[in-house]
Amino acid sequence: MRRFLPDVAAVLAFLILLSAFVAAQSAAGKDAPPDVPDAIQVPAGEEVVLYTHATGSQIYTCQAGADGKFNWILKAPDAELHDRKDKVIGHHSAGPSWKLTDGSEVIGKAAAHVDALDPDSIAWLLVKVVSHSGNGLLGNVTTIQRVHTKGGQPPAEGCDAAHRDAETKSSYSADYYFYAPAK
């Protein structure tokens, strides 16, 4: 029995260290990246620095295309950004831009998309950040993913010559993951 006590002590010490590491990761608020198709994977060497859940609208304008056919064209998103406790921490709007209450803001450009699993929902996106302003959580962000979308598609009808320049809003929600180079 005495021969096994050092082994048991080593295992217990290892488990205590492991649980401390897991607790530290959890306390640091590290979010795991979502499971996404390859087309919208984040480049290697980047880690999640912020997760938000957006609720709001996708705003569309009725416009004629080069072929003369009328379609709903995305004008801008208009959504609140919520943290995991459902506190509003920012706003998502035209640009597309994401601005937090800490004063930091990024503007992005869509780099890739995949269709949402639900055909009534807007696409999942990979967005590359093209500019920053302010100091705060978004200061080092280089990439954003929009995933788990619900709703947001334009209406199937109502856009024709009689409704040129008309606007409509489609309610949507989505999760946004913000990435920066790993430290």
pLDDT tens-place string over residues 1-24: 555 444 444 433 333 333 333 333
Residue 100: Cβ within 10 Å count:
20
pLDDT value, residue 183: 86
Q: Average per-residue pLDDT in the chain?
A: 87
152: phi > 0 → left, psi -120 to 50 → alpha, else beta; which?
A: left
Helices (runs of H) and strands (runs of E) counted in the chain: 1, 8
Question: What residue type is assigned to position 11 of the chain?
Answer: V
The Cα 6–Cα 4 span in angstroms is 6
- 49-84 tens-digit pLDDT: 999 999 999 999 999 999 999 999 999 999 999 999
Q: pTM of the predicted model, to two decimals?
A: 0.82
Domain boundaries, the chain: 1-30, 38-181
